[in-house]
Structure 1
Amino acid sequence: MPSWAELPIGRVVRLDADPDAVALALDPLPDDAPAVVTYFAAEERSVADLAASVLRELDKAAIALFPAWLPGAEGIEGPSGMNVAAVQALARGRASVTGHFGPFLAELARRALTGGPSGLAPEVRAAGLVRVLADSFGRARLAILVRVPDELGTAAREVLVAGCEWLAHRGRAGVWLAGAPLDDDRVRTVPVPLPAAFDGAGEAVPVPVTFDGGGNAVPVPATADQAPAVAYPPVAGRPHPGSASERALEAALSSRAWAGGRAWNQTYRPGPLAVPIRVDLLWERERCVVEIDGPEHRAPAKFAADRQRDVLLQLDGYAVLRFSDGQVLTDMDTVVRQIGQFLRNRRRAEG
């Protein structure tokens, strides 16, 4: 069984594992893994269309992760000329001492503040975005986990493989396909270093429902948080920029004096040989963990993994407070009040 470090970079392979099991094994990122972003493939008419779609989504991720990839730009916000000049100078300085392409990094830094499309060639953007995204997570390499849907026809599968080959070669990224089989001789299948605990992951996520005025169950409409085109890990110390619920909770907590000492998206290891656990929000002194669950947490494998990690945290003396992202977004006052009540009670108990 290979390690994550041994999976190919710069080429397209198919992972011999269920994509949901892979996702569980990569949260948090193992020490030997590249940074991994997930692209949810859809049918595209041509290789150019596929490349444009992937680059557009990787670009959104890079902009959202700013300033994780540009040291020194923390606290620089807003599109003023002074701010733009400052981040571009930082970008050029960083490019001069790293392998980044200066014009690309300077343009990306500017657009992180001002918005707007890139004017650079797709080949330049592919290489630049791969390196920026790897940097965001402190990794030297990036892999793109492409989740292949079941409904792709023969022509669409050919477009997908060709587009992924373009991305692997131009971006020097690993492109790992998972999901529906492709029946393509160009793509080698490779084993994946999955812990035994993740065997059997992959049951479908139940469709969330609500109830109409007549008491009938109706599907909850998908939101951008529920069905992103690209998913990527959080950066330690920050709410996930792709999570509206994490960002909203941080905004609500930022004005509460009692909420001091919190840390977002930390990795906790229950023991020297234990699998590490990433927690959404942590008060370490009070030994309090807050988890915000999206619809993917209803999948049986994810649900079971959540319960297991909760037990490990509780055995180490942590309380785990779980809220759905719907609760956070629609009943923030209750969520904040309950977190505050727990923290105050624990502080009183500790004297």
Structure 2
Amino acid sequence: MPSWADLPIGQVVRLDADPDAIAPALDPLPDDAPAVVTYFAAEERSVVGLAASVLRELDKAAIALFPAWLPGAEGIEGPSGVNVAAVQALALRRASATGHFGPFLAELARRALTGGPSGLAPEVRAAGLVRALADSFGRARLAVLVRVPDGLGAAAGEVLVAGCEWLAHRGRAGVWLAGAPLHDDRVRTIATPLPASPLPAAAGGARGAVPLPATADRAPAVAYPPVAGRPHPGSASERALEAALSARAWAGGRAWNQTYRTGPLAVPIRVDLLWERERCVVEIDGPDHRAPAKFAADRQRDVLLQLDGYAVLRFPDAQVMTDMDTVVRQIGQFLRNRRRAEG
């Protein structure tokens, strides 16, 4: 069985597994895996169009993940001239120490505060975005898991493969295809390092803000895992809950998107929000958690955590967005009760 580290970087390959089975195996990321983002491909008429689409979505992800890829920029917000100068100086200093292309990183840092399009060449952006995204997750390499949509014709399939080859070569990223079949002998199929049983992997949770696959009226999108210690930038409910909790003194000690193991050999579990001292986990569930497989995996996760002494409080993300007072009150009541019992 290969490991994730054995999968090629700088090449386009096809994984011999369903993407829905791959997702839970990569969240949380195995220790030997590159950082992985998922691109929901849509039909494009040209390689140029596909490359532009991928770069646009990778750029959105990098901007959303700021400042994860720029250490020292934490707390710098807003488009003021002082802030822009500060992040650009940080970017140039980081580039000189790490081998990043300084002009790209400085421009990306500026645009993270001010918005606006990039003025750099696509080849420069591809290489720079791949490195920045890998850095966001503390990894040296990046792979793009491309979910191939159903119904692509032969010409559209050729465009997809050629565009993926461009990204792999120019960005030095691994490009892993999964999903609908493609009739293209340029792409070899390789074994996927999935666990023998999908149930333990599912207990880890295929989590994070995962957009729906592209359709004719929906732009292609990229999904990516959360950065430990922060609400997922793609999750409005996580960001809203953090904003509500940040004003409460009793909410101190919380940690977002942590990986937890119930034992040295146990499957890692990523939890949305953790109070470790009070042994409290808060999970925010989207509509997909009502599906039978996800529901069963959630129950297994809960049992594993409960056996290790944790309480698990679950809230639908719709409730977080529409009834925040109740959610915050229930979390606060639980934490205060735990602290009184321990004190």
Partner of 2:116: 116
Q: How does 1:1-351 map to 2 (within 5 A)?
A: 1-198=1-198, 226-227=211-212, 229-351=221-343
**Equivalent position SS for 1:112:** helix
Q: Contact (CA 8 Å) 2:25, 2:201: kept in 1 or not?
A: no
Structure 1 unaligned residues grouped into runs of 5+: 203-223
Letter aligned with residue 16 of structure 1: D
Compared CA separation, residues 66 and 177, structure 1 to 2 (3 A)? same
Contact persistence 2:157–2:183 (CA under 8 A): no
Deviation of residue 272 (structure 1)? 0.5
Verify the 8 A CA contact 2:280 2:311 in the aligned structure 1.
yes
Please report how far the alpha carbon of residue 117 of structure 1 lies from its aligned counterpart in structure 2 after TM superposition.
Answer: 0.2
Counterpart of 1:196 in 2: which secondary structure?
coil
**1:254-295 Cα deviation digits (max 9, x unpaired):** 111111110000110110001111100000011000011123
Residue pair 2:84, 2:113 contacting (<8 A) in 1 also: yes
Structure 2: how far apart are the matches of 1:283 and 1:41?
A: 38
1:201 is displaced (CA, Å) by 9.5
Find the residue that maps to 2:230 and give its secondary structure: coil
- Please give the alpha-carbon distance, in whole angstroms, between the structure 2 residues aligned to 1:17 and 1:304: 21
Aligned partners of 1:201 and 1:141: how far apart in 2?
23
Question: How big is the shift at 1:192?
Answer: 0.9
- Alignment correspondent of 1:214: none
- Give, in whole Å, the separation in 1 of the partners of 2:199 and 2:279: 31
- Fraction of identical pairs, as percent: 90
Contact 2:154–2:183 (CA under 8 A) maintained in structure 1: no
What's the CA shift string for 1:157-195, capped at 9, x where partnerless?
A: 111111101100100000001111112101111111111
Q: TM-score, normalised by structure 2?
A: 0.93
Count of aligned residue pairs for this structure pair: 330
- For residue 225 of structure 1, report the CA deviation from its aligned partner: 6.7
Instruction: Find the aligned partners of 1:200 and 1:33 in 2 and give their Cα distance.
Output: 18
The structural deviation recorded for 1:110 is 0.5
Q: Distance in 2 between matches of 1:197 and 1:297?
A: 20
Shift of 1:334: 1.3
Residue 322 (structure 1) shift = 1.0
Are the counterparts in 1 of residues 272 and 282 from structure 2 also a CA contact under 8 Å?
yes
Instruction: Tell me the alpha carbon deviations over residues 98-143 of structure 1, each in whole angstroms, 9 at most, x when there is no partner.
Output: 1200100000010011100000000000000000000000000000
**C-alpha offsets along residues 218-254 of structure 1, whole Å, 9 cap, x if unaligned?**
xxxxxx9753711101111100011101000000111
Task: Quote how far apart the aligned CAs of 1:300 are.
Answer: 3.2
The 3-state SS of whatever aligns with 1:322 is: strand
Distance in 2 separating the partners of 1:123 and 1:27? 29
CA offset digits 1:4-54 (Å, max 9, x no partner): 000010000111111111100001000000000001111111111111011
Give the Cα–Cα distance (whole angstroms) in 2 for the partners of residues 237 and 70 of structure 1: 15
Quote how far apart the aligned CAs of 1:304 are. 2.4
Contact 2:210 2:224 in 1 (8 A): no
The range that moved more, 130-139 or 253-262, is: 253-262
Q: What are the Cα deviations for residues 293-322 of structure 1, in whole angstroms up to 9, with x where unaligned?
A: 123323333332222111110100001111
CA contact (8 A) 1:24 1:302 kept: no
Mapped to 1, the partners of 2:23 and 2:162 lie a distance apart of 24
TM-score (norm 1): 0.91
Q: Higher mean Cα deviation, 288-297 or 3-12?
A: 288-297
d(CA) in 1 for partners of 2:94, 2:307:
44
Is the CA contact 1:18–1:201 (under 8 Å) kept in the aligned structure 2? no
- The answer to whether the 8 Å contact 1:200/1:301 transfers is no
1:199–1:175: structure 2 CA closer, same or farther, 3 Å change rule? farther
